[in-house]
Amino acid sequence: MAAEIESFLFHEADLLDSHDYAAWLELFTPDATYWIPSGADDTDPSREVSIVYDNAAFLAERVWRLDSGQAYAQQPRSRTAHLIGNIRQVGGTDAAPEVAATFLVVEYRRDTQHQYAGRYRYALRCADGDLRIAHKKVELVNNDGFLGNLSLLL
């Protein structure tokens, strides 16, 4: 299962770097959440401000804006490289593994390069023999600092 999880996360990163957001969205379950906490990693998103806290419908809207050209903060579109490491299953079962990983995302847009680093926390589910993301939490190392215009998917 470890090799399958690793391959799945590498595939997700490749979809993001190639701007295949529609295929990336298909990796999520219909009840999925995508969360980037603000200020601390262990906040309650229903009571605290988050950088992003999307359910599947809001995530689909975000992807639509990116693909339609309506995301003006992504004009011109960022070029990115998602690097993922230290992937490990930290709980759950084979049918619903809980996974942690470290990441570095390098973004280049408008002659400026930015780096975003942190930890991913996933709740995955097996559906029809394939892994799907039920919950993705992006714990930015600097989520309590100035992030500028964070307009890309991490």
Here the CATH number for the domain that contains residue 114 is 3.10.450.50
**Res 75: pLDDT:** 67
The span from the CA of 80 to the CA of 60, in Å, is 20
The domain total for the chain is: 1
Q: Which domain holds residue 8?
A: 2-140
116 in a structural domain = yes
CB 113 within 8 A of CB 9: no
Question: pLDDT at position 14, please?
Answer: 97
Q: Per-10-residue mean pLDDT for the chain, 154 residues long?
A: 94 96 96 92 83 92 80 73 97 95 93 93 93 96 79 72
Query: What pLDDT score does 67 carry?
Result: 78
**Domain assignment present for 93:** yes
- 130 domain residue, yes or no: yes
> What is the rounded CA–CA span in Å between residue 154 and residue 141?
13
- Does a structural domain hold residue 150? no
Per-residue pLDDT at 62: 84
pLDDT of residue 81: 96
CA distance 44 to 128: 32
Residue 98 lies in a domain: yes
In degrees and rounded to multiples of 5, residue 67 shows phi and psi of -75, -25
Any domain includes 115: yes
> Do 51 and 37 touch, CB atoms closer than 8 A?
yes
Q: Does 154 fall in a domain?
A: no
Structural domain includes residue 153: no
Per-residue model confidence (pLDDT) at position 77: 74
* pTM of the model as a whole: 0.91
